[in-house]
């Protein structure tokens, strides 16, 4: 971007270098950073922390390799929360080298402010512009307002590689503190109720560092035949559901989890016939698939907290940002993931999981029940509070060698009480109104055919043991033990 200094910075600011800014941070401090969906994170000050020791790093969502690779490899981090997505930090967490705290996205901001186990010493935030007591965030907002309120000191990175026009899509609304917290005055998913600016105490501002470094965003795989089959099954189910369910008589609010499968499912929705219903997106991440829906006119608008786009998607969005600004809103994560708003808008939440069991419990975070992948993120917010909660996943992993439909998940993130529908490439299991035994029959029917006989054999053994939710506890985890060998 070819902005002049005055386009980005206003007033008298403590402009300095990344190294000088990093000197504000001492060993053992707790540092909260912006970033969500691998975008909008600070890019030059964190690498300058190489050489520090025993830092706690907090972020609302996934960030770039400058943090979760560079600082892991230099053994700078000893504690991390609450979401990450890179192999280096994942390996360190599972090796017990970094203590990891996982939490629902909607709750994390309040926990930083009101006693969630962390006292934030310094916040490092990426912005597109700043003044003496305000800044405008970049490609994600996440929990930046809460981070700034919680931190004793603040460092801003003003990034010239991010378009200053991002301010046209930001809608920052900060709620009062409990017990005087007011209802959120949003009547529709894309209503604007706030301001582009995030304000802070000017006495807290320690440094402003100018940067010109692009995000290192998601790389979405080309949809596989399995992705396409899942999308087709989901599409058929949604088409039938919106015709028969009075909740969707005039409008449909959708949410999709982050990642390649979620992006593929978004893109496939262009094939659904919504009639004259207003279709909106109300979720936490805005991904490439939504651009197609907006461009086709099928989507009336989108509300999120992060532009979790690929490099191609970012260019497409930035090149037409004036056009998209009328339809896209970025909010703080405690608004985008707010349980009351999710319920108010009757959101259809579509999220994925590592595995589901035959009664509808879903494991979204731990391989084998022990090894962390990324964290729960915002999936729990939408699975628990959506009017229609859907888990969509391939029926197998490891090139078909492992079933993702199992007798019992060794770790549970989303319980059977919150999951309404499960979709695989083999069909749809509508679990609403079903007893556990009925759910087992339906879920096994959409498992991979090569595993269905074994799952049925397990179900018969479990039923013989009786109980409301029958299990054969002597063999329930044999599948997981065998796969680990």
In the residue annotation, 456 being an active-site residue is answered as: no
What are the chain's domains?
5-211 (3.40.1080.10), 225-483 (3.40.1080.20)
Rounded CA gap, 193 and 171, in Å? 7
Catalytic residue selected from 66, 241, 284, 425? 284
- Backbone CA torsion sign across 72, 74, 78, 80: negative
pLDDT band at 483 (very low <50, low <70, confident <90, very high): low
Before 446, cis peptide (omega within 30)? Answer: no
Q: Check residues 269 and 235 and name the one with the higher pLDDT.
A: 235
Instruction: Measure the CA–CA gap between 89 and 97, rounded to whole angstroms.
Output: 9
- Which residues contact residue 210 at a Cβ distance below 8 angstroms, ignoring those fewer than 6 apart? 8, 9, 15, 157, 158, 160
Is residue 293 within 8 A of residue 268, CB to CB? The reply is no
- Average pLDDT (91-113) is 95
Task: Determine the average pLDDT of the residues in 334-342.
Answer: 97
Average pLDDT, the chain: 94
Per-residue pLDDT band for 264 (boundaries 50, 70, 90) equals: confident
Q: What is the pLDDT of residues 110-147, one digit of tens each?
A: 999 998 889 999 999 999 999 999 999 999 999 999 99
Q: In whole angstroms, how far apart are CA 336 and each of 321, 359, 384?
A: 20, 30, 15
Are the beta carbons of 334 and 143 closer than 8 angstroms?
yes
More confident residue, 356 or 311: 356
């Amino acid at each position: 971007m070819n902005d002049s200094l005055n386009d980005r910075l206003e007033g008298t600011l403590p402009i300095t270098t990344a190294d000088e800014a990093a000197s504000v941070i001492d060993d053992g401090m707790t540092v909260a950073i912006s970033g969500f969906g691998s975008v909008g994170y600070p890019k030059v000050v964190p690498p300058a922390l190489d050489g520090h020791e025993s830092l706690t790093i907090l972020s609302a969502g996934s960030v770039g390799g400058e943090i979760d690779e560079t600082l892991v490899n230099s053994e700078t981090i000893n504690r991390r929360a609450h979401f990450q997505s890179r192999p280096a930090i994942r390996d360190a967490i599972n090796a017990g080298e970094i203590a990891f705290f996982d939490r629902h996205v909607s709750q994390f901001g309040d926990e930083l402010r009101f006693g969630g186990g962390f006292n934030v010493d310094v916040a490092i935030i990426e912005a597109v512009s700043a003044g003496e007591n305000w800044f405008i965030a970049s490609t994600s907002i996440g929990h930046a307002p809460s981070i700034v309120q919680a931190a004793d000191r603040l460092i801003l990175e003003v990034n010239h590689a991010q378009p200053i026009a991002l301010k046209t899509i930001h809608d920052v609304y900060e709620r009062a503190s409990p017990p005087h917290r007011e209802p959120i005055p949003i009547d529709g998913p894309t209503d604007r109720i706030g301001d582009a600016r995030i304000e802070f105490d000017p006495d807290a501002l320690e440094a402003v560092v100018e940067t010109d470094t692009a995000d290192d965003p998601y790389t979405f795989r080309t949809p596989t035949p399995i992705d396409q089959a899942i999308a087709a099954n989901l599409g058929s189910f949604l088409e039938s559901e919106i015709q028969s369910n009075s909740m969707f008589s005039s409008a449909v609010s959708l949410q999709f989890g982050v990642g390649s499968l979620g992006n593929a499912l978004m893109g496939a929705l262009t094939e659904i016939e919504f009639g004259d219903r207003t279709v909106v997106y109300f979720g936490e991440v805005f991904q490439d698939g939504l651009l197609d829906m907006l461009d086709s006119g099928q989507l009336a608008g989108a509300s999120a907290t992060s532009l979790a786009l690929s490099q191609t998607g970012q260019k497409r969005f930035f090149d037409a940002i004036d056009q998209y600004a009328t339809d896209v809103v970025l909010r703080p994560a405690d608004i985008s993931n707010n349980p009351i708003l999710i319920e108010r808008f009757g959101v259809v939440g579509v999220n994925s999981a590592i595995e589901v069991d035959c009664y509808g419990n879903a494991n979204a975070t731990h391989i084998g029940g022990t090894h962390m992948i990324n964290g729960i993120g915002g999936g729990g917010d939408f699975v628990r509070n959506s009017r229609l909660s859907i888990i969509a996943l391939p029926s197998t992993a490891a090139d078909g060698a492992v079933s993702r439909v199992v007798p019992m998940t060794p770790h549970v993130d989303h319980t059977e009480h919150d999951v309404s529908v499960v979709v695989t490439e083999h069909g749809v299991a509508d679990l609403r109104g079903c007893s556990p035994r009925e759910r087992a029959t339906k879920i096994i029917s959409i498992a991979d055919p090569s595993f269905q006989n074994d799952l049925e054999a397990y179900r018969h053994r479990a039923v013989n043991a009786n109980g409301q939710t029958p299990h054969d506890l002597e063999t329930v985890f044999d599948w997981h033990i065998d796969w680990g060998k």
